[in-house]
Amino acid sequence: MNTDAFTTAEAVHGIEAVVEMARRTLRDRIAVNSCIAYCRVILELLRFTGIEAKPYACKLIVTDHTLNKAYAVGCTDEEMSTAQEIIPVKGTGAGWRGHLILIAEGDILIDPTFEAASRALYGEDEDDPAGYMVIALPETPGQFFDATICGKLDNGAEIEIRYIGTGDETWLESEAWNDEALPVFANALNTAVTELAHAMRATQ
């Protein structure tokens, strides 16, 4: 997919389609809070379609000011939300004290495992959790970026999402990132993504 001729909105739409396709397949295989594994697969898929993306390690704070609750990953006390109730992260395995996202085309933030925060805030039984985020940032972020996004979820909740870049690269040594099965899995999905890209070009 050549995104040179795309507007930002079209690029976001194309990336959303790739992320949705990957998540539908990954959900039955990988826990929704495995940000490293999801990013590894989606990074490969985006590259197959010609979209440049880069992993960014960050801290994450998601606050619902109405409920006065927050979900936080890897944050210091000074960075924590003012919410009275802070929900601890439930990791898998040894875990990594951080959150991994992707930045595509220089300024499009992709958080493929936002569902973990949504379910933590609103319950495991939520019928339609916010599964992922694909958001165009106002500028290309640096390694230690600090981005705050305010919006409303499909469930009507008004939330504040803060991503704080850390520059941490220890995730590169993680078992999830080095799982040789993930690139193979991404390659198996490539045919479907390629067909999607052809269909998108046909509508331009």
Q: Which of 163, 121, 123, 120 is closest to 143 using CA atoms?
A: 163
Does 191 score more than 60 pLDDT? yes
**Tokens standing for residue 186:** 């991404």
Decide if pLDDT at 32 tops 50: yes
What pLDDT digit, counting tens, does each position of 59-73 carry? Answer: 999 999 888 999 999
Distance CA 174, CA 179 (A): 9
- pLDDT, the chain, mean: 84
pLDDT tens digits, 78-93: 888 888 888 866 544 4
CA dihedral 102, 50, 31, 112 (to 10 degrees): 40
pLDDT more than 90, % of the chain:
38
Tokens 């898929």 belong to residue: 45
pTM: 0.85
The domains of the chain are located at 8-202
- pLDDT at position 25, please? 83
pLDDT tens track for 147-189:
999 988 877 888 999 999 999 999 999 999 999 988 888 888 8
User: What is residue 133's three-state secondary structure?
Assistant: strand
Q: Of 43, 56, 37, give the one whose Cα is nearest residue 175.
A: 37
Return the structure tokens found at 160. 């504040």
Q: Taking residues 182-204, what's their average pLDDT?
A: 74
d(CA 8, CA 15) in angstroms, rounded, equals: 11
Here the tokens at position 77 are 């006390």
- Amino acid letter, 105: E
Mean pLDDT confidence for 39-57: 91
Running DSSP on this structure, what letter comes out for residue 95?
Answer: -
How much is the pLDDT for 165? Answer: 95
Q: What is the pLDDT of residue 76?
A: 81
Q: For position 107, what pLDDT does the model report?
A: 93
Across the strands, what pairs with 147? 163
Helices (H) and strands (E) in the chain, counts: 4, 8
User: 2 pLDDT band (50/70/90 cuts)?
Assistant: very low
CA dihedral 134, 150, 154, 68 (to 10 degrees): 130
pLDDT in tens, 92-132: 445 688 999 999 999 999 999 998 888 888 886 655 556 89
